[in-house]
Amino acid sequence: MSIIYVLIPIAMLFVLIAIGIFFWAVKSEQFDDLDRQSVSILFDDETQASKVSKDQQSTDSSKP
């Protein structure tokens, strides 16, 4: 049972880290626009965007 004297402080440390991350997230405006952030993973793909445009150009040029 005396192990809790060690484990609980460790748990407290984790909570502190979690609170730190939460504060950072709020201060860096992560919660300002919930609609956008939830789908941004679908979009942010720089290389794919340019690839699509290249495909587009090639199909455009092959168009009669």
Partner 1 sequence: MKHLDCFHCAEPVLTGTQFTTFINNEEQVMCCPGCQAVSAAIIDAGLTNYYKYRTEPGSKQNALVPEELSSFSAFDLPEVQQDFVHQSSNISSVSLSIDGITCAACAWLIEHKLKHVNGIVKIQVNTTTERALVSWQENTIQLSKILNHISAIGYQAAPYQVDEQEIKSKNNSRQFLLKLGLAGFATMQVMMFALALYAGYFTDLEVQYRDYFRWVSLIFAAPVVFYSAQPFYFSAIRSIFSGRLNMDVSVSIAILGAYIASCIATINENGEVYFESVSMFTFFLLLGRYFEQNARQKASVSSSNLHKLIPLTAHRVTENVTKEIPAKSLKIGDVILVKPGEVVSADGVITQGMSSINEAMLTGEQLPVSKGDRCEVYAGTINIEQPIHVQVTAVGQDQLVAEIIRLQESASNNKPKVALYVDSISNYFTWTILFVAVLTYVVWKIYWPEDAFWVTLSVLVATCPCALALATPTAVTCATGIFTRIGVIVRKPGVFEKLPKIQHVVFDKTGTLTCGELEINSAELFSAMNKQEALAIAAALEMSSLHPIARAFDSYRDHQISAHSTQSHIGLGLSGSVLGTHYKIGSAKFVNLTDSDDHAIYLHDTKHLIAKFILSDSIRSDAAKTVKTLLAQGNRVSIASGDTSTHVDEVADKIGITEVNKGLSPGDKLALIQQYQSQSNVAMFGDGINDAPVLAGANLSIAMGSGAAVTKSSADLILLGDQLSRFTDAVKVAKLTEKIIKQNLCWALGYNLFIIPLAVTGHVLPYVAALGMSASSLIVVGNSLRLLKVRL
For residue 22, the minimal CB distance to partner 1 (Å) is 5
How far is 9 from 16, CA to CA, in rounded Å? Answer: 10
Q: How far is the CB of 3 from partner 1 (least distance, A)?
A: 12
Binding residues for partner 1 (CB under 8 A): 1, 4-5, 8, 11-12, 15, 18-19, 22-23, 26-27, 31-36, 38-40, 42-45, 48-50, 52-54, 56, 59-60, 63
Distance of closest approach, residue 23 Cβ to partner 1, in angstroms: 6
Q: Which amino acid is at 16?
A: L
